[in-house]
Structure 1
Amino acid sequence: MRHQDSGSLPTRRGKAARNEGPRAGQSRGEERVNQLLDNILERPKLQKLAILAVTIILLAALYYSFLYSPGSDQVAKLSDSVEIARNEKAIKQAKAANLPRLQRDLQELDKQLQRAVAELPNQKQIAALLEQISAQAQQAGLNVILFRPRPENFQEFYAEVPVEITVKGNFHSTVNFFDAVGRLDRLVNIDSIGFKNPTTAGENVILETTSVATAFRFLNEAERKKVAEERAKAAKAKK
């Protein structure tokens, strides 16, 4: 019996000790806090204000570090994203608003290109154009005495193709010939016009008319490259 009693007493005391442990810890913690507060309250007024200021600063720093700063960074990122999205939207809206005008401009440029291509033949088409000019002289009732191409004069993107022409006929037929050449789809300039050897045939005055008809053609890529190289050499030689 004594053995059982002596064994049971330590057990109850151990439980009591374990139950008193947290309470004792809490009491000691509260006691330390109370001592700290008493210590602060017993200090002079300036020290208490300084301690209060430091405490406020520490709390503000903790708030900024753990609450405000991450939130403000996220807000800044979202603000940047919103601003970028707004700018992109404005740009796309502006492009969409200008799209009809840009399409009209593109169509107009395409028409201008087609007109330029129609007026300036390529190298393969220039022979047919010269034949067409000669045919216009004959259709006007003129005798073609001379039809002699001169060397081409190369520009940056095109070449001038001059042709010496001498025709014989009355003045009215000559004017009709020049008018017909001016109405061709291709661009042809008539200059250096001269008259010589006038004769009469009944009531008509027959003239020999000299002129230079200048047609124009596009240069191909190889020709443009060659012209650019020659101009570069000429510019270098002048320096």
Structure 2
Amino acid sequence: MESLRNIRIDRLAQDFRNLDPNDPGLWPLAPRIAALATVLIVLLGLAWWFDWKGQSEDLEQRVAQESQLKEEWLSKKRQAVNLDEYKRQLTEIDRQFGALLKQLPSKTEMENLLIDINQAGLGRGLQFELWKPNSESPKDFYAELPIALRVTGNYHDLGNFVGDVAKLPRIVTLNDLVIEPRKDGTLKMDALAVTYRYLDDEEVAKQKREKAAQTKAGTK
């Protein structure tokens, strides 16, 4: 059996010896099959490199695009199904924002708000030793007006005054509170009261123009 196998290997090797490249038609069967297989492999490799590879990459991209488009479609479908709920939520947000906006006085109402703060202190029997409004600080759609104040009175009156300010229909915050005893047994309270007012359309437009001018100047 071993000798028979050796004879077959020798014959196969003999078939590949002394091949005439100019006349492959006379080659033995094994070399012709090997040559055809080599040519086929080379052709498949060239086809893959120059054609099939690009098609495969294009196919992968299209599959990814299909998945992305499907997700976008599902997202828009969910939005369409929940459109009424989104509208309801938007209406509720507008209502809440309007309610908050009403807590900010306009420019013409600011004077009345300052009077209300002053009356809240006087109504509790407090004495104002300092009442100094500082410059307004404009924000996106509102402005802050800080007021440095100093009042004197007893402990309960000061506490009631702070509570009355918190209950005002307009937003007022008391910051940087410092309370110190006085020689006469009363207390002195220093605070920074911050009130807020909304900007009218003209002020908002002016603020946008100023920001645009600053941005343009910064890019030069």
Question: Is 1:163 the equivalent of 2:147?
Answer: yes
The one-letter amino acid paired with 2:190 is T
1:189 partner amino acid: T
Supply the AA of the counterpart residue of 2:200.
N
- Paired residue for 1:230? 210
1:188 equivalent among 148, 160, 172: 172
The separation in 1 between residues aligned to 2:144 and 2:133, in whole angstroms, is 11
In structure 2, how many angstroms separate the alpha carbons of the residues matched to 1:109 and 1:196? 43
Partners of 2:193 and 2:165 lie apart in 1 by: 9
Q: What is aligned with 2:110?
A: 126
TM-score (norm. length: structure 1)? 0.53
Question: What is the CA–CA distance in structure 1 between the aligned matches of 2:216 and 2:180, rounded to whole Å?
Answer: 45
Give me the whole-angstrom Cα distance separating, in 2, the residues matched to 1:236 and 1:103: 37
Q: Deviations over 1:103-156 (max 9, x none)?
A: 532441232123212221111111111111111111222112222211100112
Cα displacement (A) at 1:171: 2.0
The 5 A counterparts of 1:75-154 are 98=82, 100-154=84-138
The runs of at least 4 consecutive aligned structure 1 residues that moved more than 6 Å come to none
Q: Partner of 1:45 in structure 2?
A: none
Give the drift of 1:174.
1.0
SS at match of 1:128: helix
Question: What percent identity do the matched residue pairs reach?
Answer: 30
Tell me the equivalent position of 1:43: none
Is 1:220 aligned to residue 200 of structure 2? yes
Read off the aligned partner of 1:134 and give its amino acid letter. Answer: N
How far, CA to CA, are the matches of 1:112 and 1:127 in structure 2? 25
Segments of structure 1 that go 5 or more residues without pairing to the other structure are: 1-90
Cα deviations by residue, 1:134-189 (Å, 9 ceiling, x for unpaired) = 11111222112222211100112110011121111012211211111112221111
Q: How far 1:196 moved relative to its partner? A: 4.3
More helix by share: 1
Instruction: Give the letter for the 2:141 counterpart.
Output: F
For residue 224 of structure 1, what is the amino acid of its counterpart?
A: V
1:18-40, CA deviations, whole angstroms, 9 ceiling, x for partnerless residues?
Answer: xxxxxxxxxxxxxxxxxxxxxxx
Deviation at 1:102, TM superposition (A): 4.1
Structure 1 CA distance for aligned equivalents of residues 141 and 105 of structure 2: 12
Larger Rg: 1
Count of matched residue positions in the alignment of Structure 1 and Structure 2: 145
CA distance in 2, matches of 1:237, 1:195: 46
Where structure 2 has 5 or more consecutive residues not aligned to the other structure, the ranges are 1-76
Matched AA of 2:165: V
- Write the distance in 2 (CA, Å) between the matches of 1:194 and 1:237: 42
Which residue in the other structure is 1:177 paired with?
161
Q: Offset of 1:232 from its aligned partner?
A: 2.9
Q: Specify the SS of the correspondent of 2:132.
A: strand
Distance in 2 between residues matched to 1:134 and 1:195, nearest whole Å: 18
Rounded to whole Å, the distance in 2 between the matches of 1:206 and 1:103 is: 56
Q: Which amino acid aligns with 2:124?
A: A
Alpha-carbon separation, structure 2, partners of 1:238 and 1:198:
52
AA of the residue aligned to 1:132: D
